[in-house]
Amino acid sequence: MFTKVAIVRKVISGILMSLILSLVLLLIHGYTSFFVYFIYFLIGTFVIGVPFSIVTDLILSKKKMSISYLLQGLVLHLVFAGIIVFLLTFTESDDMYPNVLINSVFGAAVGLWLVDSFLKKIPLNN
C-alpha cells in the first residue's frame, strides 16, 4: 500500500525541511552552530515526523489530491505536532521548554507537510 517512492519522498522531505529550519533557527537565534540544529531536526524528523507523516498519508490514502486533501493533511500534521508538544510539556514546569522548541515542532510539522506536498507533484519514478 505504501511504496518505496513514497518513503524516499518522505526522507527527501525530511532532509530538505531540516536544512531549511536549521538555517532559519541559525539566522533568528544563533545559539549554536548550523550542524547542531540540523542534527536535532534530523533526529526529530526521522524519529517522530516521518512516521506521523506516513500515518497521515495512510489516513488520507482514499482521498483524491485536492485542496480539501491538502488542508486535511496540514491539519493532521498540526494535530500530531500538538500531541508531541503536549507530551513534551505535560510533566515539566512552565519554563522548561521555551517557545523556540514549541514553535520549532509546529514549524517542522508544517515544513514537512509543505515540502512533501511539493514533492508529490514531482514524479520520482524510475
pLDDT tens digits for range 69-91: 888 989 999 999 988 888 877 76
- What global pTM score does this model have? 0.81
Q: Would 126 be classed as within a structural domain?
A: no
Q: Would 125 be classed as within a structural domain?
A: no
d(CA 77, CA 80): 5
In the chain, the number of structural domains is 1
pLDDT level of residue 19 (50, 70, 90 thresholds)? very high
Q: Domain residues for 42?
A: 4-120
* Of 11, 39, 12, nearest in space to 25 by CA: 39
Which tens digits make up the pLDDT trace of 89-112?
Answer: 776 666 655 677 788 888 889 989
Which tens digits make up the pLDDT trace of 32-43?
Answer: 889 999 999 899
Q: Would 33 be classed as within a structural domain?
A: yes
Q: Is 2 left (phi over 0), alpha (psi -120 to 50) or beta?
A: beta
